[in-house]
Structure 1
Amino acid sequence: MIKSIKKTIPIFLIGFLMFSFSVSAELPDFTKLVEEHSAAVVNISTKKTAKSAKKFPQELFGEGERNEMLDELMKRFLDKDGGGFPNDNDTSSLGSGFIVSKDGYVVTNYHVIAEADEIIVKLNDRRELSAKLVGSDKRSDVALLKIEADNLPVLETGSSEDLKVGEWVIAIGSPFGFDHSVTAGIVSAKGRSLPSENYVPFIQTDVAINPGNSGGPLFNLKGKVVGINSQIFSRTGGFMGVSFAIPVDVAKRVIEQLKENGKVSRGWLGVYIQEVTRELALSFGLSSPRGALIVEVIKDGPAMGVLKQGDIVLEFNGKKIKNASALPVIVGSTELNKDVEITVRRGGKTEVLTLQLSELPSDDLAKAPVKKESKPKKIDNFMGMELSNLDDTAKESLDVENGVMVKRVIKDPARSAGVERGDILLMFNGENIDDLEHFHELTENIEEGKTYALLVLRSGAARFLAIKIDKK
């Protein structure tokens, strides 16, 4: 038995060494990439000067009354002109960027240079040059700068569309002000939608990104820029394994417009949407969750008179809509004032509609605030809700033409569906709810075990809920 074990040990060691060698052989070598491309990565520092410096009361001192101590105090505590107290509100920030043209165009994040009075670009050869802001776009978090220099090293952009989950990527930037720091990782996911921005399908990576990396390039193994490092998810302020980059395909469209016009124009559909859950897909007759569910059509917007509440957008301009977050990205990049085909699910059927997009307003359209409603007559409903009609005053304050109000959620199925006190029920199973009597008519012949779509207005925003009828 002992002899047998002795014979197997060398075989085991050989197998282990072969496995270790094969794993190490597959790991990429980033040294050449860094040597060839780090010169085009820059450090960006900004300064915002407060405008409220208080002047020192020079008139308090007569000629010849200043002594050496006073002169020293003035040097330490007055501003550089000797005319005012220092202002603690002056701010500065650090970030990264990269050069995209030999004549000095530099790309970075909007939030790196936002509201800056002075922007300094520090090159790899230690030169520090003042930069001019060509244009910036808050929605995509991209800014374009210009420095006066020639024959600069330039980075080549690749395609973020071709990027694959699991692919190796590296970042070069200035975390915490440490110039040209290199970190590596893989692509964790693509097309991430973040609460702060609906028009960017972010690339998620596990590359270590920290304050100061913002605006720096994300490279693939070919040395091409596939993204701009922008955000991190962190509970501590430091890297926690979840980083987000702006896809370079999105950034290139933004940069082109900033260079030509100094601003970015995006397509606007004029609707509010939500995700299609499994329950909602069932209620609308879809075999699986997909598309973007329209919960509200904005008055006088491009979709007015074409799209309706309850439509599910399945395709837009020839591109399939996998989920709700995909629609704003596609709409935003679509050319304005041209006919666009939209495939929707409506009333259990698929329809193809045509409309033209307008330019996205500079500010998001505000919703009307929800005001207190009057207290009309209450009535119990078998769906587990205590409901009441809306009078004219309530309709005016809520800016609705129809609906009933939920005074209390008593039991299922309303409770399980997520209905809340104060919700306004606007539509059931594709039909507008005029009043309580009409709602009872709509729900009179519902089937047990079936799921229905219920449109509610909550805190000024409309959303669909899936309500399953277990018992009548």
Structure 2
Amino acid sequence: MKSRKLWAALAAAGIIGGSGFMAYQVSYAGIPAHVELNNKTVPLFNNPPGAPMQTAAVGGPNFAAIVKQFGATVVHINVRGETKSTDAPDMSQVPPQLRNSPFFQFFQQFQNQQPREVPTEGLGSGFIISSDGLILTNAHVVKGAKSVMVTLTDHRSYKAKVLGYDTKTDIAVVKIPATNLPTIRVGNPANLEPGDWVLAIGSPYGFYNTVTSGIVSAKSRSLPDDDMVPFIQTDVAVNPGNSGGPLFNTKGEVVGINSQIFTQTGAFEGLSFAIPINVAVTVAKEIIQSGHVEHAKLGIAVQTVSQQLANSFGLQTPRGALVANVAKGSPAAKAGLKAGDIILSVNSEPVNDSADLPMMIGLMRPGQPVKLGVWSNHRESTITATLGSFSGNTLVADAGGSTEGGHGLGLEVRPLKPTEEQQADVHHGLLVENVTGPAEQAGVQSGDILLAVDGKPVDSIDQVRTILKKAGKTVALLIQRGNNRIFVPVEMG
């Protein structure tokens, strides 16, 4: 299978990253109607009472009415910055047998050239959330920009100030010195259903106020390196320059911010992703009031619960997030969570997959108590943890799926030596010296450390044998490889 790439619909391609704003926390609290800015109360958005926008009775929604009423709330963003570059050729690609060539020696002198700052430009979209010039867009549009220019639909242009951005959720707020501007109306992404019509307005490739439409393809998508955002997936045509633009529902309400596309070419191929507006607004409020955002953390690494792992832990259906590792001194450790526990719910909200957990935790407040429904030792219980503050380390990581095996286990192990325990930073476990059969097929390798079987820590071969005698057809091996831990299901037969 050919590799695939997630492209942030790059509005600011080539812009060098700046120091930015620190840290970050958001929550799913209600959407604010006002914020405090410069000791003034500033209204956000435009949510007047009254009948919702009418849609066409036949032939789909009336997109023209939406564009006519709210098109002027969408802006074009042009950014300028600098990136380090050198004209030196890449000599690392020269085959070793040619490196004694006089041509190689001639060109090698250019390798010592110092990189120079090269001007770069990028473009994107945004939309107005307050009549006095507050604009919402993507963090990747403005991050590291030396200057930001905003152009309205009436062709007025303003130099914008970046109030702040949050790279974890890809949200940024900029402000222009203008008043009496039209503002968008906020919708509720929870009311969206797959198959609903949606509409995007933006500046793909610099074509101002381009209108495209499609349907909601799926909700709560988790994307690589963006595990805090439950993306709305659509088939709306989104291309570089659409980043930061609004996604409207058929009532003319903004339900998301167009942020990324899934593509092999860099252009639209039918898969686009938008940040839900309730996530964006909560982040924006933090940025407007303090210039930064803080995200909460639990301090665990998790993986998907496959059917084999569910069988191993006595869980009837494969659901929840399996705890593979608990950071020392973390909120999870203080609450009593341990490797082998399965988190089934957060504040009574079900955790259907491991990808749900970082979204739920990361969008809460540090210091907030959270009730976790946990499956442990073949029974469910509730524990309370007080969330910490995310500092840039891994919050929750999905360590991947599983591999089916055959009959038997196929492991040769021995107790760890004190020096090996010290190097691996563990206090128990067995060193895997040889792997055959099902364990090998499941991905276990020589040099791995076996820490637990079916959630029970092991220090000796006898402990492993005792656990296996009582095990079912599938056992879950907690394996440490380097600094990473993962549960590996192995079918015994």
TM class, shorter-length: 0.7 to 0.9
| Aligned counterpart for 2:282 among listed residues 253, 258, 265 | 253
Q: Does 1:466 align with 2:489?
A: yes
Q: CA deviation at 1:206?
A: 0.5
Listed as ranges, the matches of 1:133-172 within 5 Å are 133-172=162-201
CA contact (8 A) 2:149 2:158 kept: yes
| Aligned counterpart for 1:319 among listed residues 349, 357, 364 | 349
Residue in structure 2 matched with residue 268 of structure 1 by the alignment: 297
- Partners of 1:96 and 1:219 in 2: how far apart? 14
Q: Does 1:336 align with 2:366?
A: yes
CA distances 1:360-416 after superposition (whole Å, capped 9, x unpaired): 11444899xxxxxxxxxxxxx96212333321222112111111222332112x134
Q: CA deviation at 1:267?
A: 1.6
Q: Does 1:92 align with 2:117?
A: no
- Partners of 1:52 and 1:461 in 2: how far apart? 36
Residue in structure 2 matched with residue 419 of structure 1 by the alignment: 444
CA contact (8 A) 2:232 2:275 kept: yes
- Partners of 2:409 and 2:83 in 1: how far apart? 59
Q: Does 1:399 align with 2:428?
A: no
Q: Does 1:42 align with 2:75?
A: yes
Q: How has the CA–CA distance of structure 1 residues 411 and 213 changed in structure 2, closer, same or farther, with 3 Å as cutoff?
A: same
**5+ long unaligned stretches in structure 1:** 1-22, 54-86, 368-380
Q: Does 1:198 align with 2:227?
A: yes
Instruction: Describe the SS at the equivalent of 1:324.
Output: coil
CA contact (8 A) 1:390 1:435 kept: no
Relative CO higher for 1 or 2, CA cutoff 8 Å, sep ≥ 6?
2
Identity of aligned residues (%): 43
- Partners of 1:421 and 1:235 in 2: how far apart? 36
- Partners of 1:29 and 1:390 in 2: how far apart? 69
CA distances 1:23-82 after superposition (whole Å, capped 9, x unpaired): 9934223111111111110111111146999xxxxxxxxxxxxxxxxxxxxxxxxxxxxx
TM-score by length of 1: 0.81
Q: CA deviation at 1:459?
A: 3.7
The code of the aligned residue for 2:296 comes to G
Instruction: Describe the SS at the equivalent of 2:302.
Output: strand
CA distances 1:325-355 after superposition (whole Å, capped 9, x unpaired): 1111111223332432211000001111112
Q: CA deviation at 1:100?
A: 0.4
- Partners of 1:453 and 1:332 in 2: how far apart? 28
Q: Does 1:457 align with 2:480?
A: yes
The structure number with the bigger radius of gyration is 1
Q: Does 1:210 align with 2:239?
A: yes
- Partners of 2:322 and 2:214 in 1: how far apart? 35
CA distances 1:271-311 after superposition (whole Å, capped 9, x unpaired): 11111111111111112111111111111111114211111
Residue in structure 1 matched with residue 413 of structure 2 by the alignment: 387
Q: How has the CA–CA distance of structure 1 residues 52 and 169 changed in structure 2, closer, same or farther, with 3 Å as cutoff?
A: closer
Q: How has the CA–CA distance of structure 1 residues 172 and 384 changed in structure 2, closer, same or farther, with 3 Å as cutoff?
A: same
Q: CA deviation at 1:419?
A: 2.1
Larger displacement relative to structure 2 (278-287 or 234-243)? 278-287
The code of the aligned residue for 1:303 comes to A
CA contact (8 A) 1:402 1:435 kept: no
Residue in structure 1 matched with residue 463 of structure 2 by the alignment: 438
CA contact (8 A) 2:303 2:322 kept: yes
Larger displacement relative to structure 2 (151-160 or 338-347)? 338-347
CA contact (8 A) 1:161 1:249 kept: no
- Partners of 2:383 and 2:84 in 1: how far apart? 54
Residue in structure 2 matched with residue 105 of structure 1 by the alignment: 134
Equivalent residue pairs, number: 400
**5+ long unaligned stretches in structure 2:** 1-55, 87-115, 398-406
- Partners of 1:453 and 1:364 in 2: how far apart? 23
The code of the aligned residue for 1:224 comes to E
Q: CA deviation at 1:450?
A: 1.7
Residue in structure 2 matched with residue 119 of structure 1 by the alignment: 148
The code of the aligned residue for 2:474 comes to T
Q: How has the CA–CA distance of structure 1 residues 180 and 312 changed in structure 2, closer, same or farther, with 3 Å as cutoff?
A: same
